[in-house]
Structure 1
Amino acid sequence: MASYDNIQEFEPNLDGSALRIGIVMSRFNRDICDGLLGACTAALGKHGVKTENTLIVTVPGALEHPVILRKMALSGKFDALVALGAVVRGDTYHFEIVSNEMAAGINRVQLDTGVPVANGVLTTDTDHQATSRMSVKGAEAAECAIEMANLLKML
């Protein structure tokens, strides 16, 4: 355990070997979402999360994430959840509605249930921005889920 000025500090723990992780992925913008998922599952495996302790659920789009994440969180079967998807700006205000409501819903799920949810839903202006970020964001979401699950267990 680390310390700063002799104050106890928890170090990040990325050991996922004892964790159960649920993934909710949008089918809208499927190529981008598949890239996010590949990076996410690779990172989960790298950190020891067993495939038999992982479940992937797909939903039509980003606005459907919160209700499924909530159901999974309340099931007691998961230590952490990951939301994966892509909302790419179009010509209408719909982008703002989807992005804002999805993010608020995901945040509400983790605050209401105490189960951490790593938000790996990209919100970008272009498809190019999304494809260039999908590998990094998918892996970051996996690592966030592992770290937060372990931190909550330590607390």
Structure 2
Amino acid sequence: MQASDKGSAKSLADMNGQDLRIGIVQARFNNAITSRLAEACIAELLQMGVSEQHIRHVTVPGALEIPIALNAMADSEDYDALIALGCIIRGETYHFELVANESGAAVTRVSLDNQVPIANAILTVENEDQAWARAEEKGRDAARVAVEMANLMEELQ
């Protein structure tokens, strides 16, 4: 790709959400933050043309439970893209690394194994202030990634 082509590639992204079916899995741990992620995500999906009836939003206890719910949704073949929403805040023990690494790897595995795009918006932050600073934009970004990748996968098949 030539330097002049780089800018045009982004403009080719298909951000039309009409007729797309999107599944969202939200962790309830750090619920205030993950609910803000979900609100921003759903609002962005609706603005992009995804019908409210084509959005399935479920909750699970925490980030480690997100992948199994994503896998069940992917197995159903009812969704064009999926979204993972969670918030892992570093504590004083190794548990943060375990949850962050394992949930992230499992989300990726579900996506690759099922050939379904998953927008991973599981925040991994040092403190609650960082989470709040990122929640709204990361929620919107997850919606955009899901729509763009669903449309790209359709084009590639």
User: Is the TM-score greater than 0.5?
Assistant: yes
Q: Deviations over 1:58-97 (max 9, x none)?
A: 0000000111101100101000000001000001000000
Residue type at the aligned position of 1:69: L
2:83 maps to 82
SS at match of 1:56: strand
2:126 maps to 125
1:146 maps to 147
* Distance in 1, Cα, partners of 2:82 & 2:24: 6
Correspondence 1:61-80 to 2 at 5 A: 61-80=62-81
1:29 maps to 30
* Distance in 1, Cα, partners of 2:38 & 2:75: 23
2:100 maps to 99
* Distance in 2, Cα, partners of 1:99 & 1:51: 30
Residue type at the aligned position of 1:101: E
Correspondence 1:30-69 to 2 at 5 A: 30-69=31-70
**In the alignment, structure 1 residue 11 sits paired with structure 2 residue 6:** no
Runs of at least 5 residues in structure 1 that lack an aligned partner in the other structure: none
Runs of at least 5 residues in structure 2 that lack an aligned partner in the other structure: none
2:116 maps to 115
Question: Once the two structures are aligned, what percentage of the paired residues are identical?
Answer: 49
The Cα shift of 1:11 comes to: 1.4
User: 8-17 vs 128-137, which deviates more?
Assistant: 8-17
Compare the two structures and name the one with the higher helix fraction: 2
* Distance in 2, Cα, partners of 1:20 & 1:112: 19
The Cα shift of 1:18 comes to: 1.1
* Distance in 1, Cα, partners of 2:51 & 2:105: 30
C-alpha change, 1:10 and 1:111, in structure 2 (3 Å) is: farther
- How many corresponding residue pairs? 151
Residue type at the aligned position of 1:83: A
The Cα shift of 1:105 comes to: 0.2
TM-score, normalized by length of structure 1? 0.94
Superposed CA RMSD: 1.7
